[in-house]
Structure 1
Amino acid sequence: MTGPDADIAACAEMIRHGSLSFHAASRLLPASVRDPALALYAFCRLADDAVDLRREKAAAVLELRDRLDRVYAGRPRDAAPDRAFAAVVERFQMPRALPDALLEGLAWDAMGRRYATLSDVLSYSARVASAVGAMMAVLMRVRDADALARACDLGLAMQLTNIARDVGEDALEGRLYLPTEWLDEAGIDPDAFLANPRPTKAIRIMTRRLVTEANRLYFRAEPGIAELPLFCRPGIFAARNIYAGIGGKVSEAGYDSLSSRARTSKQQKMGWLLKSCLQAAATTISPRAATLFAPPMPEVAFLVDAAATSARVAWHPADGLHQALSQLAARDHEARHRLIATGARAT
């Protein structure tokens, strides 16, 4: 098998191994949305892994910027995720600001950025998760600002769930997503915590605060699912329920995400898939909830504005992305210079 079908098959295989939760939820999406969604998630997975798994993270982000440039120029790199995502960009007129937001979040990761407040954590989550939620809405031909705001709420909730689940795993990698303001209030030095991460009462309270905020955002997000095309609703409910279920597992563990990592079983996922189908059916007779019309969270408003624009517009790099990439380019140049200097001294 060759051509677009082969590219989608390769993307599906990437997701099957790289994101079990999305792979399970995607099975409830109609093929007209599932296939482009697999292409989208495969490209996002490729981007995330490129930064996570490479030692030279700055160079990885800059390379991703070049790959994205080629996708939007209609000349994707000769790789299945690039070709498939380029087809999605062309077919759905995907606003460049959305994948750029994801790239900016990955640049923040490459810089080892820390976040002082919960709002700062939400700004990061907007880029690495809500941007994907907005892109998913575009794949469903949804450009209504209220529905987009709720899609972004769901992205925030899912990312906060990820952060709460991965406190220990991130600490072992030298990453910290807990608001440093919370650590200061508890008298915990961030570097000391990363050097010796332990599930103290203070850390578990912080994890509980993340899960609580995620649950609030899951509630805000739900009315937006009813605004999606009918046959897309079960899949998005499934994503919501599976991720909220991960948060439930963190809660059951006493908010201790350091001693073990919360996991859900295949049977639980199947139960959430069934529940999601019933919830989707209920939306056909339920009245609209008032929370549908809540204004977007300040951290995601720029994504809602970008996704609500249906026509192609001239693209200019956002100030934040431009600054982040400039810093990374300078850091990459310095690293290369040091490497050359070290080699010269060795000879």
Structure 2
Amino acid sequence: MAVRHADAADHAACREAIRTGSRSFYAASALLPASVRRPAYGLYAFCRLSDDAVDDVAPRDRAAAVVRLSNRLARIYAGQPMEGAADRALADIVMDYAIPQTLPAALIEGLAWDAQGRGYETLCDLTAYAARVAASVGAMMTLIMGVRDPHVLARACDLGLAMQFTNIARDVGEDARAGRLYLPLAWLREAGIDPDVFLAGPVLTPPLEGVIARLLAVADGLYSRSEAGTGGLPLACRPAIRAARLIYAEIGRDIERAGHDAIGRRARVPGRRKAVLMARASLPLGSDLLLEEPAVPEIAFLLEAVAAQAPDVARSRPAWWNVPGQFVRVLDLIEVLREREAFTSEVGSPAAP
């Protein structure tokens, strides 16, 4: 019998890390069956804490933080995780679901690019970055759901890319004030914007609004492609993934309604609106005509890594989703989130996505 590393306290800690770190994922994950929700919390906790490990240190210390992350990942795959709930949880997850090391290593590589302060000249360059920090996570989530079909994996990666592009569009001002710029540099120059001048004093202008709108349009195309992959997931998992897609796409709609102002405000999706979108996630899926669309070239290495590592034992798919009981829990959760958002608005605390 394989050695287990994580215990109930570790799983609870991972759940708490996501509850406080990402309201959008936490809300959508309530629709997942318990057999998938627990490893999903473990995976996202490791991803979240990895991002914080690099982002929350001084710039001069970030390269060393990336090295420490790589060492932690090596220990996880050696079956000797370091102390920490997320590390122990991920050690079990990668073993249980035959997740190739290339996938979480890609995430860490993307964080290394952040540590280097790398800029992205073209959309292809930005897509290569998003493939590492977001599409890799989408692929790992799909494996946790028991699906290894390359077409479904490609559409999951599309969803990860779309979410990352939405995040970039939402955080243009916040990132610029921190000295970071993720918008394609060539797009900025085409719009008459000098990237260095913009970083020195980020302001909203009509040309910048056009660049943000352009990135959101790319994200929308990827959201449309990703929908076809949802039908390839177990029935029990489809509402949660569709809810995540709808909620993140709604962030883009909020940016649009504000005139593409991502400098002076941070787009958000209120709790009531999340509840509506989560209810919509249970409706029948649309066409799967885009399921076999060619994968975005920048995510090919992720698909190849999965194809090269077959699972030792085929895992059973989650049981049928209990619609009435699940929605009662979800609506209760939404009400809690709504009350928390109202409280944070009163005290002036920034809201997570």
TM-score range with shorter-chain normalisation?
Answer: 0.7 to 0.9
Could you list the runs of 5+ residues in structure 1 that have no partner in the other structure? 314-347
Instruction: Say which of 257, 275, 278 aligns to 1:270.
Output: 275
Contact 1:161 1:243 in 2 (8 A): yes
Instruction: Say which of 139, 157, 160 aligns to 1:155.
Output: 160
How far residue 220 of structure 1 moved from its aligned partner, in angstroms, is: 0.4
Counterpart residue type for residue 277 of structure 2: W
- Alignment partners' CA distance in 1, 2:231 and 2:146: 14
Counterpart residue type for residue 112 of structure 2: A
Contact 1:74 1:86 in 2 (8 A): yes
1:30 equivalent to 2:46? Answer no
String of CA shifts for 1:19-65, please: whole Å, max 9, x gaps: 11100110000111110000000000010001111111111111100
Instruction: Say which of 51, 56, 69 aligns to 1:53.
Output: 56
What RMSD over aligned residues (CA atoms) do the two structures have, in Å? 1.4
- Alignment partners' CA distance in 2, 1:289 and 1:93: 27
**Counterpart for residue 133 of structure 2:** 128
State the aligned residue count.
306
How far residue 306 of structure 1 moved from its aligned partner, in angstroms, is: 1.5
**Counterpart for residue 300 of structure 2:** 301
- Alignment partners' CA distance in 2, 1:307 and 1:139: 12
1:174 equivalent to 2:183? Answer no
Counterpart residue type for residue 4 of structure 1: D
Contact 1:148 1:308 in 2 (8 A): no
Contact 1:143 1:309 in 2 (8 A): no
Counterpart residue type for residue 42 of structure 2: A
Contact 1:61 1:107 in 2 (8 A): yes
1:203 equivalent to 2:202? Answer no
Question: Counterparts in 2 of 1:255-334, with a 5 A limit?
Answer: 255-278=260-283, 282-283=284-285, 289-311=288-310
How far residue 3 of structure 1 moved from its aligned partner, in angstroms, is: 5.4
Contact 1:95 1:312 in 2 (8 A): no
**Counterpart for residue 324 of structure 1:** none
- Alignment partners' CA distance in 1, 2:185 and 2:73: 32
1:250 equivalent to 2:249? Answer no
- Alignment partners' CA distance in 2, 1:76 and 1:220: 37
Which structure dedicates a bigger proportion of its chain to helix? Answer: 1
- Alignment partners' CA distance in 2, 1:24 and 1:236: 11
- Alignment partners' CA distance in 2, 1:155 and 1:39: 18
- Secondary structure, counterpart of 1:304 in structure 2: helix
TM-score, normalised to structure 2, is 0.85
**Counterpart for residue 339 of structure 2:** none
- Secondary structure, counterpart of 2:269 in structure 1: coil
Instruction: Say which of 113, 121, 124 aligns to 2:118.
Output: 113
1:221 equivalent to 2:220? Answer no
- Alignment partners' CA distance in 2, 1:309 and 1:25: 31
Could you list the runs of 5+ residues in structure 2 that have no partner in the other structure? 313-353
How far residue 312 of structure 1 moved from its aligned partner, in angstroms, is: 6.8
- Secondary structure, counterpart of 1:25 in structure 2: helix
TM-score, normalised to structure 1, is 0.86
Contact 2:11 2:85 in 1 (8 A): yes
Counterpart residue type for residue 281 of structure 2: S
Give the percent of matched residue pairs that are identical in Structure 1 and Structure 2.
56
Counterpart residue type for residue 81 of structure 2: P
